[in-house]
Chain A
């Protein structure tokens, strides 16, 4: 199975999906939490995430085994299965906030009305379908999504960058350390990419310098988020906390749109396509983990259906309680993120003995 996904494709994911899942409501949320210093908690989050991705990427330079094989080798099959089941559930957990934000985005950007949840059925149909696809296919999706992401976000930034007053971001020093600290804690749950790298472990051929590429890609994705947030706050200033969905609202004052119509929405819709694939990756990751944990690669359809059903249930429960979800996310969601996205990759280092290729054990798959 080694070599089913290319390092380039993982890099693309770390740029496009990393940014796509954060850019729906995160800028508004951070504007509310940290005011004009919104980029600082984001930069801290990006730095932490990039460091963790770097550590996970370094792990891939030390072993060509999957996480499952590593755990199985040191702790036994039962432990490996448990880790993969927990990891799979963690991916579903990670999908919740972006999915609910996506639901709100659909209402706001596509319809401007609150629609019945039945209108979301196509999203779940897509998640179910894409969730059945293999890791190799996930790589192919990333190849398509990166140019879409780059063009759409590029167009949005070009249209909005000139409309902002960047002095709105100053003075950063005025914001107290307590506010910044709260902002960092409250937003940490969004910086969870290192866990995704764990499931790709052993599924790509590592070459010298790949760890640096992966780390750099994560940083680029994170910086794209920071840049968009800065432009958003520059455009709206203190009002940013009341304006949802930066990618749709930042471009509102671009004067040519008066004559051309809201062409920026086409870019936003293209961006949303990337968000859908980013969400699908969580379902794919869940399916992959459960298939591996139960040793049934042919059950991908069942596990994808289970993941989709769980997400449907969560959306039905949360539905119009986004603020409640947001409060919960801000107060305790960072705990599982620290465990699975930060401590688990670091812990995985302890499972690797010797150098890559040396004392190689057969992959347990």
Chain B
């Protein structure tokens, strides 16, 4: 027989080569033999039963017309058994009929997923609390809920030779710069990789300098932040399996903005932004300046404080730079361990780290009290801008090494090199330091400053958007 059901089932099962691929054969009311093949771990069995098998069992027409009865909204025709095996892996149920050549695939996938909840990395006191999940459809739903515009464009890409991960590029057609979406698409598609387990893999693809210490994309777990950035003219990237969405082009000032800045009084938001900038600068430089002051320029420290420090460091066997380096490394180890450990152990670890280790080390005279205070304050300062922590902790370490060997002069030169590097960098034509360099006074209203709602009437001009106006106030006479 030309289309032997048994033979084709065996062929598809052989191609799928997984034990969780199930097959189910049944007869219709007319006596035709059907088979349904699906991956047990990802397909929704209730949907298969209700939408495919139940109507077919009652069907007494010709087997060729059986597909019309399937009540699933997403039906695909498979050209051959190889394609069918691929679709099974994606979560489709394959329907075959004895003596019928057509293979029908019904999308009934129902992968395990968690509910929409507040993102743990971006907690908001004011404003929406919804966060992205690992499911791309849920995430796109959260975006559609906020952007009901017919100009919203969502382009799907499939990335990963083996994972075939769905990646969605989200943009506003009438806002995003001409060719920006295509550039992002090209930069992703030119890579061939086995698997995309998280959006951070895509982040590496869309960066002009993937080896840079400074990241080149903004990330968020909050749909309100994501939508606001898409409305500014950026392209959003949602990756199936990752709760972290990306936006490009990126400017460094984005790291110093939070969603809440837009939900509170602008003066307070401006103050907080300056506070964050100050905290990051202090967090990076404080340990190294302390070392510089001790080793090279003692006048930097006020006299009274100097006497206090002198009494604290007396008898410490380590040099100031080695002492600070040691304390910083201990902090990094504690930080790493507390993140990786189970919660209940983490609490004990905090006690051991902060109280036992810190206190005992000071009492034993291995490290001085000022060193512990400075490192602790530096760590707190850096966490005021959590998105920048990956970079700032390394910069702090680098500054410390330079300070220990070259002093303040080394830090000034290092700062000059970093500024020269950052000022010359751009991604997708947008300077990394925009709107500071090149200076754009209008864009500065939403960078270090946070202007009131009516001072943010235009989108950031550095993004080269098609439609510059984002807020228009219609005057009313009443």
Contact = CB atoms under 8 A, between A and B. Distances in A.
Task: Pick the most buried of B306, B416, B436: most chain A CB atoms within 10 A of its CB.
Answer: B416
A84 interface: no
Contacts of B420: 126, 129-130, 133, 137, 141, 277, 280
Contact of A110 (B296, B423, B433): B296
Given A144-B419, A144-B423, A269-B408, A261 B437 contact: no
A27 B436 CA distance: 32
Contact of A276 (B408, B412, B439): B412
A193 interface: no
A255 to B, nearest CB: 13
A110 B409 contact: yes
Interface in A113-165: 119, 122-123, 125-126, 129-130, 133-134, 137, 139-141, 143-144
Contacts of B407: 110-111
Interface stretch (B1-9, B297-305, B453-461): B297-305
Query: Is chain B's binding surface mostly helix, strand, loop or mixed?
Result: helix
B424 A133 contact: yes
A265 B438 contact: no
Contacts of A139: 438
Interface string B426-469: 00000101001111000000000000000000000000000000
B415 interface: yes
A126 B406 contact: no
Contacts of B437: 140-141, 143-144
Interface in A267-309: 269, 272-273, 276-277, 280
A249 B296 CA distance: 18
B417 to A, nearest CB: 5
B424 A277 contact: no
Contacts of A144: 419, 423, 433, 436-437
B1 to A, nearest CB: 69
B297 A265 contact: yes
A273 B419 CA distance: 10
A77 interface: no
B394 interface: no
Contact of B438 (A111, A140, A259, A273): A140
A261 B438 contact: no
Nearest to A144: B437
A341 to B, nearest CB: 26
Interface string B398-425: 0000000011111011111101110110
Interface of A: 6, 8-9, 106, 110-112, 119, 122-123, 125-126, 129-130, 133-134, 137, 139-141, 143-144, 258-263, 265-266, 269, 272-273, 276-277, 280
Given A6-B438, A133-B420, 18 more contacts: A106-B409, A111-B407, A119-B406, A122-B413, A125-B417, A126-B416, A126-B420, A129-B420, A137-B424, A140-B423, A140-B437, A141-B423, A141-B437, A144-B423, A261-B300, A262-B299, A277-B420, A280-B416
8 contacts: A6-B438, A111-B296, A111-B409, A140-B437, A144-B419, A144-B436, A259-B304, A263-B300
Interface of B: 296-297, 299-306, 406-410, 412-417, 419-421, 423-424, 431, 433, 436-439
